[in-house]
Structure 1
């Protein structure tokens, strides 16, 4: 094992891309290449400060969690009890939530594939700040290539004395484990993830106590998303003002927007927070040729949908919230006029019913009945009274389930009824219509299971 020698740091422009700047470089994932990209300069800067000062720097930056809720990262770190505080003498743990499972979300996996050392560096800085000596990256088990790439990066870091004992001669020790999950959506919920990491069935825990007090192994624990942790090194390298020069006042910095669906060039688009979908579509080539935007999700299928009327909503936490949805994971799923809203919502609801852990009755039973109702409505066998029942069942789940899965299942239903109630009604049988979807299924990719392409 040889302590790595860092090359001199180079100035970085206050502009995007930051996270994805080197993704297209040859072998961007290797340690030598990452070191040439100012890699581990943020760690060196952090280790020259006291842990509490690192926390204050991240708090001052305004970095908000990129996993969905948008909670301030530095504030979350500061909740960890220290010294004589209750729980202050127990070991602290850092857990990175890499169980990317939200439909439409696909930002963390390419980040870990192309730049795993960016995450590893962020883990070391975060662990130092919260005084943790053990850290875990919990990865969705199906992504074997990502797990392999991460474990190789961790091994490189150990060989270079970036992990293990006395990192950079600072006296700080850290062990990092890459843990493969078993592919359950519910393990994206932080307390279910902790249960899974402990070897139990992944199910949400009752809170309080919160993970910061009693998390992994009943010890103080911070759980952060991949993108949240990967954003920390650049802040430590370049400073608070640099980070705040991008984004908006209350949602500063940069982030990854995942565009998928009926868009000309789907993919990851890194941009400052506050950009609009109209601007993102200009970069992505617009909606596929010959079609128009009908509806879209700003943060994955668990967020209330938007329509073409929302093209100019600022895509930051405040702007999206004020417009009636949530920024979530910035998973922007785009659907054109060929898509049946009822069929799309049914597909999402089937997913949530399948992924319900079954721990609480509202979610376990409610998602099942939502699927039955939507199937009947989609097939044309429903009545206007079924729409009232659909709303009633959804209301019995949202805000009443053990975790946010129930809320996520209800979001597309509530918002689709708000914007597209007439399309639901158009599925009912009339003298002129036998019932069922009024749209031509041969024109929509939502009907891909029928072997049809537009």
Structure 2
């Protein structure tokens, strides 16, 4: 996929990472400096202390303390004769529900480069590599590197395959080193051996952008936003479409309201390796590690996915589980066989396979846990388990044949196929009400009897919202969108 969706932008309070983007779609070098000012230089000890003082953690999922990563790279470099180190920016969002790093690299790439080059200068790193997966993001970063002139020559931009597992640390580094972009399955610390075999500071796009902001503000000013225990702002991707910068501690329902949505049937936090919050928990949640920890959830890479009332939870979950099975790295049995088998039995349960089908889902989940070469099988199994716990009645009703009567609207985003989507008519249900042509006259034609003239109609991308409206309005539930 060369270019995915471009996110909308929003903020709660005064923006930091997204500053200036209310006046320009993209901050070039000149506009960037006008908004943020020059970047100070930092001694390694100063930068480590700064990261400690603002309690900066990785924003790519695991939340590992950034200062500890820097100290580990420095220690590893001391143990080498050449003392060489490297810096890697992970901008490969293989998670279709997350667009925050894409937003930064498309709209504010110099802030990310500032943070990476600041860290590289402190470490004495010879090379900075920025790994991306989208063509439009690659172009934006390359333009930013060129805008820096000679200072940008030490930055290498690499485009890697767009897959869910590309962002895993060992997969990313192996891809940058010219190998297969696959998890190694080994406990290899990039701080010891990473890019070109050198001790490498690897973190995600937002982390480096936060470092650049903190270096300009200083620890005390940086801590004026957010919670005392979790200072600063956080980037969230809401409903797979809007990137919001918010201080930590903000009410989660308020962020959803800002994006024109609400908790609905529940909220998936942390993306497709994350956890479902029921509506009551979601309404009580704050955007903070501590708040989500009490609910058994993690913010991860910042994906927040509310599930609308008019879509089928069981069908949505089965659809994502099938896609996750297809994202296997192909290196171990739990991924190659276990995840497709889990998707199969989940589909069977959703289609009315009975209590035995639900039991088979539980068995398949247990069979992949703790056995994968990477975390993908465990994460996918946890996603399904969380859904079963959050929507027990939905899955039971589907398994026993009654279902919920709602269509699967694709509220949980997945990458779009290169082939166009189609509006499909189920002739066993269609009663010729004709409402579809009222909503979508550019796509639907009626025959002489008042029924759609075609069973399958191409939906141009710009008409997808209207097609979804037609699906929702059909009284007979006879329409669906097929990718």
**Interval of TM-score (by shorter of Structure 1 and Structure 2):** 0.7 to 0.9
Instruction: Return the match for 2:138 from 147, 159, 164.
Output: 147
Instruction: Return the match for 1:344 from 316, 329, 336.
Output: 316
1:117 maps onto 2:92 in alignment: no
Shift of 1:283: 1.6
1:271 maps onto 2:246 in alignment: yes
1:356 maps onto 2:328 in alignment: yes
Deviations 1:39-59 (A, max 9, x none): 4x23xx2x2x42222122112
Match of 1:238 in 2: 217
Match of 1:18 in 2: 16
Match of 2:407 in 1: 441
- Cα separation, partners in 2 of 1:444 and 1:353, compared to 1, 3 Å: closer
- Cα separation, partners in 2 of 1:436 and 1:177, compared to 1, 3 Å: farther
Deviations 1:77-100 (A, max 9, x none): 111144874336342111111111
1:218 maps onto 2:193 in alignment: no
1:127 maps onto 2:102 in alignment: no
Structural RMSD (CA): 2.3
CA–CA distance in structure 2, aligned partners of residues 84 and 377 of structure 1 = 53
- Cα separation, partners in 2 of 1:270 and 1:373, compared to 1, 3 Å: same
- Cα separation, partners in 2 of 1:243 and 1:98, compared to 1, 3 Å: same
1:186 maps onto 2:152 in alignment: no
How many residues end up aligned between the 2 structures? Answer: 408
1:383 maps onto 2:354 in alignment: yes
Shift of 1:130: 2.5
- Cα separation, partners in 2 of 1:215 and 1:117, compared to 1, 3 Å: same
Match of 2:255 in 1: 280
1:52 maps onto 2:45 in alignment: yes
Match of 2:94 in 1: 101
CA–CA distance in structure 1, aligned partners of residues 378 and 397 of structure 2 = 27
Using the TM superposition, name which of 75-84 and 101-110 deviates more: 75-84
TM-score, normalised on structure 1? 0.84
Shift of 1:133: 1.2
1:314 aligns to what SS in structure 2?
coil
CA contact (8 A) 1:339 1:446 kept: no
Shift of 1:111: 1.3
Where in structure 2 are the equivalents of 1:393-404 lying within 5 Å?
Answer: 393-404=364-375
CA contact (8 A) 1:341 1:420 kept: yes
1:407 maps onto 2:374 in alignment: no
- Cα separation, partners in 2 of 1:217 and 1:340, compared to 1, 3 Å: same
Instruction: Return the match for 2:184 from 195, 198, 205.
Output: 205
Match of 2:276 in 1: 305
CA–CA distance in structure 2, aligned partners of residues 284 and 27 of structure 1 = 19
CA–CA distance in structure 1, aligned partners of residues 87 and 246 of structure 2 = 27
Instruction: Return the match for 1:258 from 237, 240, 243.
Output: 237
CA contact (8 A) 1:338 1:444 kept: no
TM-score, normalised on structure 2? 0.79
Unmatched runs of 5 consecutive residues or more in structure 2 = 1-11, 414-420, 425-467, 473-483
Deviations 1:117-168 (A, max 9, x none): 111111110112232110100001xx222211110110111x2x4335xxxx
1:212 aligns to what SS in structure 2?
coil
Shift of 1:234: 1.3
Match of 1:91 in 2: 84
CA–CA distance in structure 2, aligned partners of residues 133 and 222 of structure 1 = 12
CA contact (8 A) 2:73 2:200 kept: yes
Shift of 1:195: 0.9
Shift of 1:442: 7.9
Using the TM superposition, name which of 229-238 and 277-286 deviates more: 277-286
CA contact (8 A) 1:87 1:220 kept: no
Using the TM superposition, name which of 234-243 and 200-209 deviates more: 200-209
Shift of 1:375: 1.2
1:24 aligns to what SS in structure 2?
coil
Shift of 1:181: 0.9
